Amino acid sequence: MRRTLLILVGAAVVLAALGVPGLRAGASRTRRVAAPQTGPNPTSASPVVGMATDPSTGGYWEVTADGAVFAFGAPFHGSMGGTPLNQPIVGMAATPSGGGYWLVAADGGLFAFGDAGFHGSMGGTPLDQPIVGISADPVTGGYWEVAADGGLFAFDAPFLGSMGGKPLDQPVVGMAASPDGGGYREVAADGGLFAFGDAAFHGSMGGTPLARPVVGIDDDPAGTGYREVGADGGLFSFGAPFFGSMGGTPLNRAVVGMASTPDGAGYRLVGADGGIYAFGDAPYLGSVDVLPLAGLTVAIDPGHDGGNGGDPAIIDQPVDGGGFAEPCDTAGTSTPDGYTEHAFNFDVATRAETLLRAEGATVVLTRTTDTGVGPCVDARAAVANLAHAAAAISIHADGGPPDGRGYTVIEPAPVVSATSDNTAIVGPSAQLGAFVDAAFGSDTGLVPSTYDGTGGTDVRDDLGGLNLSTVPKVLIECANMQNADDAALTESPGWRQQAAQGITDGIEQFLLAGLRT
C-alpha cells in the first residue's frame, strides 16, 4: 500500500486570489473554436508517445518518438520531425497559453516551440534512469522533467520533492502538475502515486492488481483530483469525474498517454498507433495514422554469403554454437541449374526488407551484399540481439532429397550452455514460427516439407543461430533446391516475391498479436 506525504502550502490560495493566469486555464480564458481536421489523417512511421491539449483552442497535439508533432484543432508551432535525435522523444507539454509546447527526449534533451521558453534541460547530463515525462509550470513558464527512478528536475519552476533516491516497486512513468503550479504528482507503472507540494493525494491504483501497467497521469483542471491511465485504456479517476475509458475494449496498440480538456469536463487517451479516444466534452478532431510496425525492429539474416565457397579458411573455423563448436558458416546449396542458395536467400531477404519497411518496421540485415564472406553464425545472432529485434529470421533454402518438397520453419529448442541461454525466447519463437508457417504456406502455395519436421515446422537444438539468440527467432528453409519443382520456384522472381510476402506476413502477424491489448 502506498501512502504519500501531503505537504500543504498556501500557494494555491494566494495565486487564486491574485488571479494568476493559468489557474484553471480553460475556465478563465476566451476560447477559440477548435476546427476539426480536414482531409485524410497524416501518417507516421514512428509511434506516438504522447499528447497535449491546447488550453486556448481545446484542440490537441500528438507527438511521435522521432519528434514530429501533429496538430488537430490547434496551431502547429514546429517540431523535431526530420531532425536526427540522440534519443527518442518521450513526452510533451503545452505552455499555459497554448501558444507553444515543449518536447522532451529520454536523455532529458528539451525542445521548445512557439512561446515556450528554453530554461535548461538534462540533455548532456548523465542520468541514472531515462526521462519519462514533462509538465509545464502554469505559473512560472518553466517546467519539470521526471525520470523513471522518480528523479525530478525543475527548470524555472520550484522543486517540491521527488522519489529520486527512494526505492520504488515499479518505475515512474509520468507526472502532472497541479493547475495552480503549487505541486505535482509522479505516477508509477503499478499505479502508485506520489504527491508533492499542494498536490493532494486522493488515492491511486498502487497495490491493486492491474491488467496492464499505468502509462500516464493528468490532473483535473477543474478541481484538485487526477486520473491515471493504463496501457489497455483503463482509466482511474481520483477526486475527479469519470467520463469513460477504453478498458475492456481490445486495442491494436497500447495507450501511451492522456490529456484533459481545458475545463476538465473531458479527456482524450492516445495510443501508440495514433488513435485518439475522446470522452466527456472532448471532441475528436483527427489523429495520426501510425504505420503498423512503427517502432519495432526486425532482424533478417540471409543465410550464407557469396564469397563463402571460395574462402574455407574463414568459414570452416569453429565458433561457439551454444556450448559446442560449429563451423563459422557454410557455402550453402544450389539448384541443379546452378542457382545458388546464397543468392536466393539474399534476394528474398531484401524483398522482405522492403515489405517490412513499408509497414513501418526498422530492419537490420546480417549482411548487405551477396559478395562477402560470412559473417559467422554467432555474429549473425549477435546482430539481432544487439538490435533488440522484436523478431528475427534466418532465410535459407534446403539441399534435401531430390524427391522431397516443401518448406520448413525451424524453431529453437531450449539450449543452456556456459555461454548462452535461449530458454526465454523458445516460447515466443514457437509463436513466431506458427505465424510464419501459416503465412508462408498461404502466400506461396508451397506444401510443408514432405521430408523434414511436421506440418512445416521443426524444432532443433543444433543451430548456433537459434541457440545464441536472445530475441524471438526462427530459421526458414523456403524450399528444397535439390527438387526439380521446388528449384524452379526458387529461380522465379515472382515466387521469391511471394516467399518474401509470406515471411513478412508471418512476422507482422506475430508482432501485431504482441501489441494488442
- Which distant-in-sequence residues (6+ apart) come within 8 Å of 497 by Cβ? 351
Cβ proximity to Zn ion: between 294 and 397 the closer is 397
Nearest approach, Cβ of residue 217 and Zn ion (Å):
51
Q: Which stretch binds Zn ion (CB under 5 A): 374-382, 394-402, 459-467, 497-505?
A: 394-402
| Chain-centroid distance, C-alpha 247 | 20
Nearest approach, Cβ of residue 481 and Zn ion (Å):
9
Nearest approach, Cβ of residue 326 and Zn ion (Å):
13
**How many residues bind to Zn ion according to rule CB under 5 A?**
3
Residues 502, 508: Cα–Cα separation, whole Å = 10
Q: What does DSSP say about strands 318-320 and 325-327: parallel, antiparallel, or unpaired?
A: antiparallel
Residue nearest to Zn ion (CB): 396
Amino acid found at 231 = A
The contact mask relative to Zn ion for 429-468 (x = CB under 5 A, - = no) is: ----------------------------------------
- Which distant-in-sequence residues (6+ apart) come within 8 Å of 243 by Cβ? 265, 266, 267, 279, 280
The contact mask relative to Zn ion for 161-180 (x = CB under 5 A, - = no) is: --------------------
| Binding of residue 374 to Zn ion (CB under 5 A) | no
Which helix or strand (DSSP H or E) is residue 14 part of?
Answer: helix 11-18
Cβ proximity to Zn ion: between 4 and 449 the closer is 449
Q: Which stretch binds Zn ion (CB under 5 A): 24-32, 172-180, 270-278, 389-397?
A: 389-397
Buried b (16+ CB within 10 A) or exposed e, 331-346: bbbbbeeebbbbbbbb
Contact (CB, 8 A) for 303 and 332: yes
Cβ proximity to Zn ion: between 141 and 303 the closer is 303
**Residues with a known catalytic role:** 477
Nearest approach, Cβ of residue 332 and Zn ion (Å):
4
- In what order do the strands lie in the sheet containing 60-64? 48-53, 60-64, 69-72
Distances (CA, A) of 102 to 90, 92, 137, 159, 272: 11, 5, 12, 19, 19
Cβ proximity to Zn ion: between 206 and 303 the closer is 303
* Angle made by CA atoms 485, 309, 479, in degrees to the nearest 5: 20
Choice from 77, 396, 405, 473 touching Zn ion (CB under 5 A): 396
Q: Site residues for Zn ion, window 294-333 (CB under 5 A)?
A: 303, 332
Q: Site residues for Zn ion, window 234-253 (CB under 5 A)?
A: none
Nearest approach, Cβ of residue 517 and Zn ion (Å):
38
Residues 484, 137: Cα–Cα separation, whole Å = 72
Nearest approach, Cβ of residue 448 and Zn ion (Å):
18
Contact (CB, 8 A) for 162 and 196: yes
Cβ proximity to Zn ion: between 136 and 478 the closer is 478
The three-state secondary structure class of 313 is: helix
Amino acid found at 261 = T
Contact (CB, 8 A) for 47 and 253: yes
Bridge partners (DSSP) of residue 218 are 227
Nearest approach, Cβ of residue 393 and Zn ion (Å):
13
Cβ proximity to Zn ion: between 229 and 476 the closer is 476
Q: Which stretch binds Zn ion (CB under 5 A): 187-195, 226-234, 391-399, 449-457?
A: 391-399
Nearest approach, Cβ of residue 333 and Zn ion (Å):
7
Cβ proximity to Zn ion: between 332 and 465 the closer is 332
Residues 452, 445: Cα–Cα separation, whole Å = 18
Nearest approach, Cβ of residue 366 and Zn ion (Å):
13
Question: Long-range contacts: 221-224, Cβ < 8 Å, 24+?
Answer: 221/24, 221/25, 221/26, 221/27, 221/179, 221/260, 221/261, 221/262, 221/263, 221/264, 222/24, 222/27, 222/263, 222/264, 222/265, 223/264, 224/178, 224/200
Q: What does DSSP say about strands 60-64 and 48-53: parallel, antiparallel, or unpaired?
A: antiparallel
Which helix or strand (DSSP H or E) is residue 377 part of?
Answer: helix 377-386
Cβ proximity to Zn ion: between 114 and 399 the closer is 399
Q: Site residues for Zn ion, window 347-366 (CB under 5 A)?
A: none
Cβ proximity to Zn ion: between 247 and 372 the closer is 372
Which residue carries 469519470 as its cell?
242
Binding site for Zn ion (CB under 5 A): 303, 332, 396
